[in-house]
């Protein structure tokens, strides 16, 4: 089983390709109700978030109940536009608490969906090469290869960078507003992994500024660029994986 999370399609596309190439199943962790795992293979695919494992994935792994009596081949594949940071060390520690070894880890480079918030341009070049990397990873997974040399400790440099990244997010992006040009398509409602966006009295609203995990699905997929994070609006600067359509990522209908 491949457990994945994706907001704008990068990790979903990688998980879908890996599932096909390894003849495995895939499951979106944000819609999962049953936390029992009874398979001999356990894969995780997710985006690097602030140089680490996003909280949603960390919480999911902590809830996992391992029911398999076989030795589990466990791997993690992250998508990122730059550095993986402490992601694999965090995964190693989370899984160790479950008595599972992280046997294999790798990364796939794809455009970083937060770059426009930093005033930078998306680097689309990785869209031409990522499938070759996924194919390589799939071949290694099918051969049950390992690269599980122990990662000793977290880098304090990335801990500090994570802190300042979150500081920027909380200070500059926390307040969410929906503009008048919203057409009430409810795409954002269906995409939100924490059910934090609702339609109420004919208006689209964010229930809480504190229940957002900043996957950026709502602001990146909005067809009218009607959502603001703080003073930021992504007019003409949206990114989602070009081979993924939004309903593949819907959390509810």
**Any idea what DSSP says for residue 108?**
E
pLDDT of residue 120: 81
Please give the average per-residue pLDDT across 172-183, as a whole number. Answer: 91
CATH code assigned to 2-158: 3.40.50.360
Tell me the C-alpha distance between 7 and 9, whole Å: 6
Grade residue 152 by pLDDT with cuts at 50, 70 and 90: low
Residue 175 clears pLDDT 60, i.e. is over it:
yes
CATH 3.30.70.20-classified regions of the chain: 172-248
Residue pLDDT, tens place only, 45-95: 999 999 999 999 999 999 999 987 789 999 999 999 989 999 999 999 999
Most confident range (mean pLDDT) of 84-93, 144-153, 226-235 is 84-93
CATH 3.40.50.360-classified regions of the chain: 2-158
pLDDT of residue 150: 62
CATH among 3.40.50.2300, 3.90.45.10, 3.30.450.20, 3.30.70.20 for 172-248? 3.30.70.20
Residue 148 clears pLDDT 90, i.e. is over it:
no
Phi/psi of residue 177, each to 5°? -135, 150
Q: What is the DSSP string of 169-213?
A: IIIII--EEE-TT-----HHHHH-TT--EEEETTEEEES-SSS--
Grade residue 119 by pLDDT with cuts at 50, 70 and 90: confident
Please give the average per-residue pLDDT across 158-184, as a whole number. Answer: 86
């Amino acid at each position: 089983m491949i457990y994945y999370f994706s907001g704008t399609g990068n990790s979903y596309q990688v998980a879908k390709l890996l599932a096909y190439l390894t003849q495995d199943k895939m499951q979106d962790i944000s819609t999962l109700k049953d936390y029992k795992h009874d398979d001999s293979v356990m894969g995780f695919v997710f985006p690097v978030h602030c140089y680490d494992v996003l909280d949603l994935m960390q919480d999911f792994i902590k809830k996992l109940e391992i029911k398999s009596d076989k030795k589990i081949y466990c791997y993690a594949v992250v998508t990122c536009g730059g550095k993986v940071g402490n992601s694999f060390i965090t995964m190693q520690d989370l899984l160790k608490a479950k008595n599972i070894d992280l046997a294999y880890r790798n990364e796939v480079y794809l455009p970083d969906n937060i770059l426009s918030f930093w005033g930078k341009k998306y680097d689309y070049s990785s869209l031409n090469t990522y499938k070759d990397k996924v194919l390589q990873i799939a071949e290694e997974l099918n051969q049950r290869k390992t690269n599980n040399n122990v990662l000793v400790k977290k880098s304090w440099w990335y801990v500090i960078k994570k802190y300042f990244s979150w500081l920027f997010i909380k200070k500059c992006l926390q307040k969410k507003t929906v503009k008048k040009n919203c057409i009430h398509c409810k795409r954002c409602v269906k995409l939100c992994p924490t059910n934090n966006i609702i339609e109420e009295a004919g208006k689209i609203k964010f229930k809480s500024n504190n229940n957002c995990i900043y996957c950026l699905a709502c602001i990146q997929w909005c067809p009218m660029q009607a959502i603001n994070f703080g003073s930021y609006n992504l007019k003409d600067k949206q990114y989602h994986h070009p081979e993924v359509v939004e309903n593949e990522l819907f959390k509810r209908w």
